[in-house]
Amino acid sequence: MRSHYPDWAPIFVVGCPRSGTTLVGECVAAFNDVESVGESLFIRYLWRLITDLHLGINDKTTIVPYADEKFRPNLTEAVGRLCDDLYEGLRKQNTKHIVDHTPWNGACLPLLARMYPNCKIVHVVRNPIAVSKSLTQSFHNGREWAQGDSLYHAKLWNKMVQRIDDDIATLNVSSTKIYYEDICLKPIETLNGIAVQLNLNWNDSALLKTEVLYASSLSSEEQPEEYLTKRRKEVHRDVEKWPLNMDKETRDSFSNLTQAIALRNGYIIDPKM
């Protein structure tokens, strides 16, 4: 454990990329005495650097398992103080909590918990089919980090969701798990659940952030509330439509890769649907 901690406590919103971590992070940042620092990314790079130096790994696509021996007390102290300083540079307010919604931080939760034992974790999960479609769209929009085919997306989703669940089960930190579909369909109940679980103070402005999800394609002829109602009807908690261009073989493989963990989280992944 570190000998010194900052006055603020971090809230890490994690999950597979394109699962809604940005939306949830902005909602949580609207609670009282909480400030967003966006997606920091530097913790992931520090994790990568340390594991590379320890194991001599040059394969940047490998997610290296956490091991205590890599992070001896002096190293944890040094990395923690560096992260403190980097976060301080991002802060604009003197709040009790900061929110970092970098989804990739889910790959290094043991390090986060060791540096910040007072941290809080929000694990955001979304239907893997929807995640894959969103990753594909992001890549087409010029985000190179979202590259990969549907089966790569399935493996990424499987690995991230399972790993985060496994790590949270062994860490002594305050945490909660929510589903992207729930924050779309029942935002008040879902956001209030986060506030209660993590002992945060509710602010009604958190609800305004959920409307940003739909605002970009609102036509001038539609009233905001009518449009929100229409779009929310397109969100289903358990079932997601397959991409029209995905063939049966790919759907079968995608289902085989994700079905077990998807069912555990209430999602139906049926290649015939």
Q: What is the pLDDT of residue 241?
A: 86
> What pTM did the predictor assign?
0.86
Question: What is the number of helices (H) and of strands (E) in the chain?
Answer: 11, 5
Q: What is the pLDDT of residue 215?
A: 36
What sign for the dihedral angle of Cα 228, 229, 232, 234? negative
Q: What is the pLDDT of residue 216?
A: 39
With tokens 């997606």, the residue in question is: 39
Q: What is the pLDDT of residue 1?
A: 65
Q: What is the pLDDT of residue 222?
A: 46
Q: What is the pLDDT of residue 71?
A: 61
Strand bridging mode 120-125 / 9-14: parallel
All residue ranges of the chain with pLDDT < 70 are 1, 53-72, 212-238
- The superfamily in CATH containing domain 9-264 is P-loop containing nucleotide triphosphate hydrolases (3.40.50.300)
Q: What is the pLDDT of residue 211?
A: 72
Q: What is the pLDDT of residue 133?
A: 93
Q: What is the pLDDT of residue 220?
A: 43
What sign for the dihedral angle of Cα 207, 209, 211, 213? negative
Biggest CA pair distance of the chain: 61
Q: What is the pLDDT of residue 142?
A: 86
CA distances from 237 to 29, 126, 178, 230, 243 (A): 25, 9, 12, 15, 17
Q: What is the pLDDT of residue 101?
A: 97
Domain borders along the chain are: 9-264
Q: What is the pLDDT of residue 214?
A: 39
CA dist., res. 46 & res. 91, Å (int):
20
Distance of CA 262 to the CA centre of its chain: 16
Mean pLDDT of the chain: 84
